[in-house]
Amino acid sequence: MSSTRLNCAAALAVVHRDLQVFLSYRLRLVSQVVSTLFGVTIFYYVSRLVSVRAFPTHNDYFAFVIIGLATVELLTSAVHTVPGTLRNELVAGTFERTVASPYGPLGGIVALSLFPMVLAVVTATTMVALASVLFGLPLHWPTVPLIVPVALLGMLAFLPLALLVAAAVLIVKQAGNIAAFLISGLALASGSMFPVAILPASVRWISEVQPLTPALELARHELVGAAMSGSAWVAVAKLAGFAVVLIPLSIFAISSALKVCRHRGTLIEY
């Protein structure tokens, strides 16, 4: 069996393990669906209070914020969940097996990101489906299938951020505050809940130098037919650029963190 097939099999084994752990908490899936429903319901009624020129109808803001929340869910699954899962592995002592296995710690950390991202896609899809079925979210059906490649490209652009925070977890064993700050900052500057145009000009440039903004614009364009500030192909190129540039840098950061931890003898400590 080739090394590629072995690596894929190892990654699938990690995903299967994470799925089994998730399903072992019998009410977890139900509670996640219920909490998603509560979130959709809250923002539906909040949207009834929004009356501004940027959103001609209440439903326009409802569509804007629901797609924003769904996209931020993908970001959160990467930047917060993956480093948190890595730290849990260190605390439980199970990361030691990955380090000692032929798969290695780098492959193991990347594999830890797979199940959270799949779960985030399911959660985001559930959120949009509930908003559409229960509250009449107007989906633009001709372009809805295009959200699949957009979501994949977005997750590739978000993954390096998760790996960079995971590198910090290996070094300092705690990086929850870094992840929370990064998610909040990106969500604030990208226009997930309100248009970027209302931000002060001094900080508006941040929306142009991070991957969440083009991911949000593409998602809104494909799902609800929202107009984009520029070309869709430019947004795709931005996401691809973030992935191409940042993935090698994040892998280098993880590799460097592993070398530091081995030098210190702290790789499996917490």
Give the other-Cβ count within 10 Å of 119's Cβ. Answer: 18
The reported pLDDT for the residue numbered 223 is 93
pLDDT score, position 176: 66
pLDDT at 80: 83
């509670």: which residue's tokens?
A: 31
pLDDT on residue 179: 82
- Quote the pLDDT of residue 256: 92
Determine the Cα–Cα distance for residues 236 and 186; give it in Å rounded to an integer.
18
Nearest to 77 by CA among 121, 24, 16: 121
Residue 1 is predicted with a pLDDT of 54
Specify burial of residue 200 (Cβ count, 10 A radius: 0-12, 13-18, 19+).
exposed
Average pLDDT across each block of 10 residues of the chain; the chain has 270 residues. List them in order: 76 87 84 91 93 88 93 86 84 80 82 88 92 92 91 90 89 79 86 86 83 92 88 91 92 90 80
Cα separations (Å) of 250 from 147, 163, 257, 260?
26, 6, 10, 15
Query: Burial level of 205, CB count in 10 A (0-12/13-18/19+)?
Result: exposed
Q: What are phi and psi of 199, to 5 degrees?
A: -70, 155
Q: What is the pLDDT of residue 128?
A: 94
Tokens representing residue 41 in the block: 């319901």
Tens digit of each residue's pLDDT (9 = 90 or more) over 44-73: 999 999 888 888 899 999 999 999 999 998
Measured from the Cβ of residue 56, the count of other Cβ atoms closer than 10 Å reads 10
